[in-house]
Each structure stands twice: as C-alpha cells, then as structure tokens.
Structure 1
Amino acid sequence: MKPSELRGDPREIAARWLEVIAKALPVMKVGDLYLGRAMSESRAVASGLAGSLHVVSAGLGLAARDADAPNYDVTVVRGADSIAPALAKAGHGPADWWRELNALKGTPLPLSRHINEAARTKFLVALPSAYICMLEHDLEGLDASALDRICIFTSRSGAGMLASRLQRCVMRYDERLEGHKRYAGTRSDFPQRAMRHFFEELDGHLLGVESANTAVERAMAQLTQPVVPQRVRKTDKEIIELIRSEWEAHKGSSTRLHRYLRDTALVACEQSRFRGLWRQVKAEIL
C-alpha cells in the first residue's frame, strides 16, 4: 500500500499502516533499508563508539539497526512516499502520526523513554528538521537529568523547532562544515556528517554539553563556508536520462550518482526527489 492511499485521521491511518506491516514478511535488517550517506555516517560513529544504533523510522517507529524489517517506503519528508499529504488532508501533522503510531504499537514516546531509562548512557541524536518535527511531542518527554547526556545534531530549521529547554543540547554546527573536505556533503545528510565530525575530530562524546558546544564553535570558526555553485533545474525525465547514462560509470551507487548530479553536472535535485528517480532507473536496469 502506498502512503497516498491511506485515509482518515492519524490513528486510523496508523492502524491501517500497522496492519499492512504486520502482514509483510521481514526481508532485511532495519539498517540495511537505508543506503545513503546519512546511514553510512551513523554506522561509522556507532562502530567507532562500540555503541548501539537506532533508526527513527516513520514506518516502524524507533527501531534497532539489527531488527528484522519488511521492505517498505513511507516518510514524512516531501516526496513520492511521504505520509505528510494524507495527514494534512485530515488536518494533522507528522508529530500526530508519530504519537498515534507508537501508541498503537504500545511504545509511547519511544525515544525519550529509551534515553530516560539508560541513565548512564550518552546519546548522539542526528535528525533532519522533518524528523525533529515528527518527534516534537516525544522529545518533550525527556527528563531534566537526561539533557546532560544528549547531543542533538540538526539543521538551523530543526533546532528552531525544539523546545527552549532542549536548545542547549543542540550542537551549533552550521554551513561552515562544508568547508571541511572530509565532512562536506548534501543538506539531507548534514546532521549525520556533523555528528561524525563531532566524534572523530573533537572527541565530543567525552565532553559535557556546554564544553562540547564550545569545541564545536571553535571548530566552526576555523572553517570557511564555500561558495555554493549555481545549479540548474531539470525535469524528472532529464534527470532520469542523466542517471541512466552514468549508471555504469558509478556502478549504480545512489550516493555517487547524486554527487555526480550535484557536483559535476551541476543539477539541482534534492535527496528525496533523487531517491525516487534513482529507484525508477534501478527498476528498469536490474
């Protein structure tokens, strides 16, 4: 079932979605559902810390990387698989979806509960603004004592969505990170790239929240935001042709092909749009 086919209020939509998921056979691990740089950066940090990795999934809730999962497509980010239009028709938003989905699963406020219960664990949370929006009510459930154990990586827009009590947990990375060749990338994977820089370059996971942010500010002060090249707009058909023509040269890698479009062909194509077009080409070729 496609997200566009779901109807009703958030509870009705979530109930129908969970019925679909329950009937689907597990085909892979949760971590293997995600192929882009955001996940590869997260894996690298988790591996370096010998820590666990959980995914905030619009379709599954909070899921451990090694949990079994069906192959599904649903997101709160704009695009072909977005649940947002169905929710908007009912006068609701992503936070309502997250609340109802997890309530029906018997796991209300899963992220804040997980953090609150692990009283001796440090958490690095890397999420784009759309997912910060989805977790709005969940994050409000964090205990005051938990705020000393959590570092949040998101965009400026995402930071602005957080409650005032959570602002000190946001690591103040900005566009100057693009001036570091090793950690430059696309807007969609900015939070995860920032998290990896934090771990690898600053040992930020060993610092208190205030000291960590001081280290981040010093690191940003040493970098210069690069000039963004002017990229041209192209139709879906034109982008599909570009992906198809470069498929072999980039071995079908979605990450490499997206970098080619943005950095070499200088084509404007955001991550969610690209993923849909890439899947179309993949279905034709494979």
Structure 2
Amino acid sequence: MSLTIRSAVTLANGVKMPLLGLGTYQISGDDIKKSVNWAIEDGYIHIDTAASYCNEELIGNALKEIFASGKIKREDLFIVSKAATSEHGYENAINGCERSLKKLGIDYLDLYLIHWPGVKGLQPSAPENSVTRKETWRAFEKLYQDKKCRSIGVSNYTIKHLEELKKDCTVVPHVNQVEFHPFLYQQDLLDYCKANNIALEAYSSLVRGQDWENPTLKEVASKLGKSVSQVLLRWAIQKGVVVIPKSTKQDRIKENADLYNFNIPKDLEEKLDALNQSKHICWDPNTVL
C-alpha cells in the first residue's frame, strides 16, 4: 500500500480526512504551541482536540500565529474537536460547538464528534443516556446542515450505540473514534464501520507506552528496522484506520510521521493481529447503556 503523510480516507460525504493527525490529549501550556508548530513543520495537516482537553484556546492562539505567518492556510488543515459529556442535549451541543469554534478562532470544524455515549450526571446504566444521545445527534445534524462542521461523528461508540443511532438519524456518522491497537483489535467494529461507510479512527494507538516490551512487538520492529511506535501506527493505517498520536517531543512527532517508507508484510501483520486481548487501557464504553 503506497501511502504518504497527505494520504487520507474519503468520508461518506466526500470529505478527505488525513490518515495521520496530531493528538493533543493532556497537552497544555507552552507545550501546545511547540507541538502544533513542530507537527505542521513536519507535514501534519490534521489536529485533534476536544472541549474536555481544555486546550482549544491555546491551540487557537498557536494556529492564529501560524496562519498569520503564511506557513499554512486554514483550508489546508483538518481540525477536529469533540462535545464533552456536559454538552449532550440539543441546545447544549449547539452551544458547545460555538464555544469550541470561538476558542479555536475558526469559522468551522472539519469534524465534530460526540466524545462519549454517556451523559454527565447520569449513571452508565440510565436509560436517559439513550434519549439524550438522540437529541445531541439532532443538534449535530443541524450544525452539519448549517456548515459549522464539514463532517460529524462519534467517539467511543460500540456497534450497539451505532445501531441505535442509525435507526433515528438523517446523517449516519462519518467517523467513529475509538481505542484501537493490537492489544484491543476491535475487528468486529472495524468490519461494521467499513460495511456502513463509517471511517474508524484510533486513539491510544501507542498503548500509552504499555506492552512495548512485548516479544512479538519487539520482534516485528526489529525485523523491519523501525521503532515500536512506528510499527503500531503503521499497523493501524494499513487497515485504513486514522491515527492521532500525541507527543510533546520534537523528535517523537517527527518519528511518528515517518511511516511511509516501509510496509508491514502480511505474515507480520497477522502476528500483530494475534496480540489481541480485548484490553482497554482507557475507559470501556460497553458499560454505557
């Protein structure tokens, strides 16, 4: 598979979403400005944030300087944010998007996601989660219709959540962002999303540094002459899955983008597939009714 840093998946509505992005979870202060600048210098054109990361304004300030410098234009970037659990419900979601746009200093998002299927203040087993999710999605469809977002989607949605949404929506989610790596190889979800023309996007692709000493992972990295992080990221994008690794280190940001001069052969890819333990290192959305 011939890929470059500009390679993209085509969403159901024709929008091109870059396969590689910069994740910004838990990055704040001066680190945000440095990370965003380094990423753009290294060819990244996709930046992922969320209301709950509390760094949208800092990213907006960095982007304002970058746009003013002429390094890149707004229309050449793919900017993603997400509605927090407190921003569920029709009016909350509309207002949440407006807040994110204002903080980021932009007129539209390339992708806006529902961050979590559960609603703040409700128990995961509460049936009201389902009712409120539907109201939130109605607001997302309105935001999409009003061109506040070029595409809309969800995050941490299981097949059950997606099936529920499909029964009551006008626009099927363009993207589903979930935890996805060899130790949580959600093949059923990947197959479902492909069958329904929903792009799958991975977070925690690097397993937060856990399991990097796994013998199979080290063996594959050694055979390919690549780092463990490069192997993990390449494994995902070869499956057509979007990745958004985060880092505050310039050399790591550069390394995470150096994925295009090698391929993981089928036999080694299958070894990585076999690492699946259904292991969540983050939260498990299956707990949400």
Higher-Rg structure is 1
Higher helix share: 1
TM class, shorter-chain normalised?
A: 0.3 to 0.5
User: Per residue, is there more strand in 1 or in 2?
Assistant: 2
State the TM-score, normalizing by the size of structure 1.
0.33
User: What's the TM-score, normalizing by structure 2?
Assistant: 0.33
